[in-house]
Amino acid sequence: MNGSVSRLRAVVRRATMVLVSAALVGAAVSSTARASGATVTSGEFHAFAAGVGLDISGHAVLVRTADGTTIVSVHVEGLAPNTTYGSHVHQTACSANFADGHFRFDPAGPARPPNEIWPGPFTTNPAGVGNGNTMAEGTAGPEAVSVVVHAPDGSKIACADLA
């Protein structure tokens, strides 16, 4: 019994450290970006119908830098442990047709980076917490308005509107 309690405490300590670290990184990126003349948008994740049953929460941040780079960071909680998820910037709000399709710098270009912005795939820890980030060359256009988390089977399970 004591071994189980010790392992549980260790997992809780690690999860707490991850959460605090993610919050500090997000705050630092946001503060630095605002100070440098960048545009920062962010939003909170909520579950889509395919994510029902998961207590999904977290946030996404998209930074359009003054020098033409786009930085995206996601922090998601309530996912299955030790599982890899995809995430992508989408071209439509979460409420419109499940955020429609991926944002592309060139709408006629390929459906993959560097033409798309993918802060995933990321793999969750044993507590079901996942973090992903990316830096893309180019400034995301105004159509980049949401971030979607995809389950391993590709279904859209969570979304954050960026405002």
d(CA 88, CA 5) in angstroms, rounded, equals: 38
What would the mean pLDDT of 136-153 be, rounded to a whole number? 96
AA identity, residue 61: V
C-alpha gyration radius of the chain: 16
Q: Which domains, from first to last, does the chain contain?
A: 2-161 (2.60.40.200)
| 64-99 pLDDT, tens digit each | 999 999 999 999 999 999 999 999 999 999 999 889
d(CA 125, CA 43): 22
Residue 68 near residue 137, CB atoms below 8 Å: yes
pLDDT digits (tens, 9 = 90+) for 105-124: 999 999 999 999 999 899 99
pTM exceeds 0.85, yes or no? no
Residue with tokens 């946030």: 59
